[in-house]
Amino acid sequence: MTTTTDIVAKLWSLCHVLRDDGVTYNEYVTELTFLLFLKMLEETGKESRLPKGYRWAALAKREGLDQLDYYKRLLLDLGKPEVKDGLVRAIFTDAQTRLRKPTNLKALTSSIDQLDWFSAREEGLGTLYEGLLEKNASDKKSGAGQYFTPRPLIDCIVRLMKPHVGETVQDPAAGTAGFIVAADRYIKDRTDDLYKLPEQQVFFQRHHAFNGAELVPDTHRLCMMNLLLHGIEGGVELADTLSPDGERLSKADLILTNPPFGTKKGGGRPTRSDFSITADTSNKQLAFVEHVVRALKAGGRAAVVVPDNVLFEDNTGRDLRTWLMDLCSLHTILRLPTGIFYAQGVKTNVLFFQRGKTDKANTKTVWVYDLRANMPAFGKTRPLTAADFAEFEKAYGSNPAGSAKRKDQGEEGRWRGFTRDQIKARNDNLDISWLRDTEVEAEEQLTEPEDIAAAIIGHLKAALEEIETLSEELESPSNKDAAMPEAAE
């Protein structure tokens, strides 16, 4: 067991104590973020970012109710507009503790102080924090898994997209910054942690290379903490990409994202003035795809995780696909296995495309890799690994724009190419499969109660979303007009 793994296990074990104080799993990670932020600034010699009187040592030495009162005041004050450091403000804006018992706060501060911080610094504090986020996501009781993109999938996508120095990388649904951190790590691994770069390029990489948005305040805190610990100064706004906020995001050379699935609450539509394809739908994943296309620079490339309905949905869905294939070269679709998002019923894909220099007829051939059919049941006993993507990466080739030479494996293989004319004959339906689907048999192989429960929940959620979509269509103005009887003369 590595030091990082050991520390993550110790930190996670404290959540059992806090449950007696009414703290949920996700709230626990947020609570830890506040405390770890203070401690890590002390450990890295960066406490000057904090106003005087708000340091870890001042909190840790206190006892009882005095400590809890000081902690509450600290959270309130560090989020105030007069705090000069923008990243500190972002982490503590509207922050409040869920702790009610002074003994629990003392247990947290004491345990954090006793961790092996020397070894943690050696292995990387960012690695430690990512381990904590992944632990939260993999524990199904936390409910965070549906928002957490598996790291092996992120790393696969980044290896194929090959981000490089000087590019602007965006994630419009940043979550806890998994894609941004992985892209940053990919670049640092090839530049000796940026030491090979001129000072001007180093500044760009740390301050301007990455941008994005995250809608949920608590998730945004985790995101900003993750960026800080990886040497990235901000870049992700607390904002709704499907509102005018999204129009203000700068154009990107590369977009990597796993946007939220489902419909906007209350059936709300995007409020973007630049949206034309998805302006009248509450389907978030369709709207995010339109954002990605519009946010790419000419020649920019993207990899976007989407649910199956984006590939086959009629009306707005079909219009979006036709528009996408005109403006972009949609060169690759990866059909992902079920169960990798800690919910067995969720069926997802990755769309890989490049924005064209013109707005017409950019898609020539769409290559589809089926990693879903005849695959094992993924879950607690069979997690997703980098090895699961090895054959796909080999088939994809070395060119990030998907223009490497490719060979169709035929009806018995997982990798096939379909011309634009063939797709047009399918009414631009991209839900293409040819291998026998053994998903039912795979789910029958599940043995862990948590995996079985996740499969049931996943199917129920998918069914509920289909009902919501149908209800939305029935309530649309065009359908209401059609159903309205003619007025009597």
Angle between the 125-138 and 3-13 helix axes, to the nearest 10 degrees?
A: 50
Mean pLDDT of 39-59: 90
- The predicted-structure confidence for 232-267, as pLDDT tens digits, reads as follows 987 899 999 999 999 999 999 999 999 987 665 555
Tokens 């600290």 belong to 74
What does the alpha-carbon distance between residue 121 and residue 123 come to, in Å, rounded to a whole number? Answer: 5
User: What is 451-475 written as a DSSP string?
Assistant: HHHHHHHHHHHHHHHHHHHHHHHHT
Mean pLDDT of 337-345: 67
User: Which pLDDT band holds residue 129 (cuts at 50, 70, 90)?
Assistant: confident
Tokens 């894909």 belong to 349
Contact (CB, 8 A) for 306 and 351 = yes
Task: Output the CA angle 402-180-10, nearest 5 degrees.
Answer: 130
DSSP state of 21: G
Mean pLDDT of 286-312: 96
What does the alpha-carbon distance between residue 302 and residue 69 come to, in Å, rounded to a whole number? Answer: 47
User: What is 283-300 written as a DSSP string?
Assistant: BHHHHHHHHHHHHEEEEE
Residue 340's pLDDT is what?
A: 80
Residue 199's pLDDT is what?
A: 95
Percentage, residues of the chain above pLDDT 70: 83
Nearest to 272 by CA among 305, 300, 306, 295: 295
What does the alpha-carbon distance between residue 255 and residue 459 come to, in Å, rounded to a whole number? Answer: 29
Highest mean pLDDT among 18-32, 121-135, 181-195, 453-467: 181-195
Q: Which domains does the chain have, with CATH numbers?
A: 3-133 (1.20.1260.30), 144-453+455-465 (3.40.50.150)
Provide the sign of the torsion angle of the four alpha carbons 146, 148, 151, 153, taken in this order.
positive
What is the largest distance, in Å, between two alpha-carbon atoms of the chain? 86
Nearest to 94 by CA among 104, 83, 102: 83
Provide the sign of the torsion angle of the four alpha carbons 416, 418, 423, 425, taken in this order.
negative
Contact (CB, 8 A) for 342 and 138 = yes
Residue 9's pLDDT is what?
A: 82
Mean pLDDT of 37-55: 90
Residue 463's pLDDT is what?
A: 66
Which of residues 124 and 455 earns the better pLDDT score? Answer: 124
Residue 132's pLDDT is what?
A: 79
Residue 267's pLDDT is what?
A: 53
